[in-house]
């Protein structure tokens, strides 16, 4: 598994990490976000026309966020990094 690009952004009320990875000739975009009022964890697969299509979500991954205060940047980074790792594990099992 090779990481092609990582983008992260953290504010007072939210945090997000987006990674583009290459695995077994497939290109994926993994997106993890925590914010006031919710969380997101998704994986998208690039199709033959170069468009990312949704393939996996948080219900497909045995992972739950533990951040109780989204204003805590260290906790957000830790949670989001663990979410990305959990999604990568599922990708290696499925693809």
**Tokens (6 digits) for 8:** 């992260």
Tokens matching residue 74: 């260290």
Give the C-alpha separation, 38 to 28, whole Å. 23
pLDDT at 52: 97
Average pLDDT over residues 22-49: 93
- What is the distance between the alpha carbons of residues 45 and 5, in angstroms, rounded to a whole number? 15
Per the structure, the complete domain to which residue 60 belongs is given by 2-94
How many distinct structural domains can be found in the chain?
Answer: 1
Q: What is the mean pLDDT of residues 26-43?
A: 92
Arithmetic mean of pLDDT over the chain: 90
Which pLDDT band holds residue 67 (cuts at 50, 70, 90)? low
The mean per-residue pLDDT over the stretch 80-89 comes to: 93
- State yes or no: pLDDT of 70 exceeds 70: no
């Amino acid at each position: 598994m090779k990481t092609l690009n990582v983008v992260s952004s953290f504010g007072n009320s939210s945090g997000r990490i987006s990674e583009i990875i290459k695995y077994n000739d497939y290109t994926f975009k993994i997106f993890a976000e925590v914010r006031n009022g919710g969380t997101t964890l998704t994986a998208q697969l690039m199709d033959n026309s170069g468009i990312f299509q949704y393939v996996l979500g948080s219900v497909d991954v045995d992972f739950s966020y533990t951040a109780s205060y989204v204003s805590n940047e260290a906790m957000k980074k830790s949670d989001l990094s663990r979410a990305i790792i959990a999604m990568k594990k599922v990708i290696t099992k499925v693809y």
